[in-house]
Amino acid sequence: MMDWQPLSLTFRLAFVTTILLFIIAIPLAYWLAYVKNRVKPVIETLISMPLVLPPTVLGFYLLLAFSPNNAFGQWLDASLGLRLVFSFEGLVIGSLLYSLPFMVHPIQSGFANLSPSLKEAAYILGKSRWTTLTKVLLPNIRPSLLTGIVLSFAHTIGEFGVVLMIGGNIPGQTKVASITIYDEVESLNYAAANTYSLILFVITFCILLLVYLVNGGHVKSYWK
């Protein structure tokens, strides 16, 4: 009998991560697109690091930071009651860092590609920054928002190294689909590994296809 738990955990993780990332990335991308600042290149580099860094490196340092043997880990446990090592919450934090560039980059380039006169016209009409953002800027970068959401979601589904380092392999807590596949192969259970792999393959294919169809104008939708 097939165990659905790893798959549902994977999608729960991807869902929570994507929602949180969306909220975090909009102000961050806005700042990167519009503000000129000396520390900006450093921030941009940090955000892009997960693109090139082996996930195990990120996972390793998170493991150290979250470990209850460390000052930061102890403080988290004592003040917030958070145990981030080998827990779902820890995985969410790891995934946020790991998928951050996939949400920030599309939104940032969406903002940067808008004509600056749109924002200026709204200001001259007396609209606040917030109204300008929600009524003018965001509605006009819908394709970028969609790209960011879908890429982050798909990328979190594909996560392996970070999860393995800080999450381990606890069923229902941290045992996501990618880990399960590895596990099944280790125990030479190829049939089960194939089932999980095929499901992930088909789902991620469909998600990405949807983005290309919508943003390529093949689907008549409300944001065209």
Q: Which residues bind another protein (CB under 8 A)?
A: 115, 117-118, 120-128, 135-136, 139-140
- Distance in angstroms (rounded) separating the CA atoms of residues 49 and 98: 9
Distance from chain centroid for Cα 85: 19
Beta carbon nearer to another protein, 74 or 131: 131
Beta carbon nearer to another protein, 64 or 136: 136
- Distance in angstroms (rounded) separating the CA atoms of residues 219 and 224: 9
Q: Least distance in Å: CB of 197 to another protein?
A: 41
Q: Least distance in Å: CB of 23 to another protein?
A: 21
Q: Which residues contact 21 (CB under 8 A, 6 or more apart)?
A: 96, 99, 100, 103, 148, 152
Q: Least distance in Å: CB of 56 to another protein?
A: 43
* Residue 129, CA distances (Å) to 19, 60, 123, 126, 133 in order: 23, 40, 7, 10, 6
Beta carbon nearer to another protein, 23 or 118: 118
Q: Least distance in Å: CB of 39 to another protein?
A: 22
Q: Least distance in Å: CB of 118 to another protein?
A: 6
Beta carbon nearer to another protein, 69 or 115: 115
Beta carbon nearer to another protein, 79 or 117: 117
Beta carbon nearer to another protein, 119 or 155: 119
Q: Least distance in Å: CB of 128 to another protein?
A: 7
